[in-house]
Structure 1
């Protein structure tokens, strides 16, 4: 197949869930290349010399059942193909896990967002990159992102990995800022993400195997995992809740800048990871129900989880839960707890 019917890139992706022969598309304003199934590259044919140069990655469907970001990206891709958006920056769109999209699940065999960078490092002798298709896909996505950034060596690198969460959240939209190894936080990036309707930021304190940490750590990109709401099936997303996120992405790739002078720390809730709770065996269980929202705060001494009859408790009042999931594989993170933090002294 060497065309996109009705400018529907998602349909093309779903029809070729594991493999698609790369091809190019004729377009009056952009160079367009389908690089692999679910991966499409746009580059404006005439980049203004004095314009600030950015290389932008927008990814979604790293978990296949997180449909709202998929719909957002597919709409924008369709508008680009139809020449309804004036693209100013090279942009790579990624639908991360097409087979999982087709079955409406987070993943097929293994959580793709636990398979980047550190998971496949040279000192991880137990890692078999051929064990399943998700591991093969993680390697392919890393390669494609690397090649994209290498095509634009002088451009500022950004990566926004769009998700929706398994459960409700006390803050409907929030973002994960990957561990940046002591480098300063960027006011401009906070303002960009705030324009998506996100004011709560979870600041990670250690390396991770997520897609956003990979781009940040390996390529020096301004990178975020952005949670835009709750997981829902295709057709059940309230598009009005995602309008700001969609418009922000359009503004970004169209070269519209945010006003950094608008930054005011009081507009935000900054949270730092206090503890990472790992599930070691099948005795692990959470002590609260599935309808308890992300960022629900607990009091000192409250029990979050139990494993091997050992209670895992809150260390301090106001310690809140994020991403609790007792159904992860043994050895994987089952929950984070977070506490408020002040970052005024490390901002640029």
Structure 2
């Protein structure tokens, strides 16, 4: 007899595997699940895994199971933000069952295709309808914002994120000591970046709002996008998620298209009454500086994923982030020290490009 899909899932903890099977069998009748069909759907940069399981319901033929070991992953924020998104009118997974002590969640299935899967990087015009849908979801999410609900994206968090770059990317990945002039230049640049980002008004921030985490479902560019991977959401700069969307970890666009979509978001945000700057030049500058924060953080995280967690595939995308950092740092005189650091550790030289806002 051929093994069932469930038999192919690898577990490092046999006891956890048994607890999972017992939980799934226990909820199967009420949820219409077929436990023998469970199989791996995806895994991400954290300790979470996702399984897909068939059901007896033709209207919802599959469900998703999240495996989030509670000693490594706290599922409370996922459940909270999923509810907030649904209340905001954003399509997010519904939590159908939650074994809180053991970290297993049953969710509805938003589909197999991400926005990244269907984008053609060579045809930006064809991708515009998808980005319009992404903007629509983002504006809904931000309109629902209230202070005191999500953790603040405050100075301490901004500084912790930036510290990942010198520790993991420069020190451990590149093997360069962060001291002397290099350290002084980084500290001076980081202070400017933090102050710029703290000056932006606050809204709900997804923190990974990018095509890889947006699901197109069965309706392609015309349907409402589903949103995933939102458990790290915070209350912080209105510039963050649009910076994340247009300066992606796995996809790069020409600046003309980045500007086009950013203007579309800015226009929609102003119409919705969101706290974006009335001057687009000032807003775009703030978006770039927020993006710079994200790029430095992610370069450090990708190095850490490789060196600490044994996930080398992420480091292959680091050159994209270094290019983002250099492009932004080259626009603003205040960031010349950061540009010199990047050129020193990467062995590159200054570049030119469009300039926006004051320098």
TM-score w.r.t. the length of structure 1 is 0.27
TM-score w.r.t. the length of structure 2 is 0.26
Larger Rg: 2
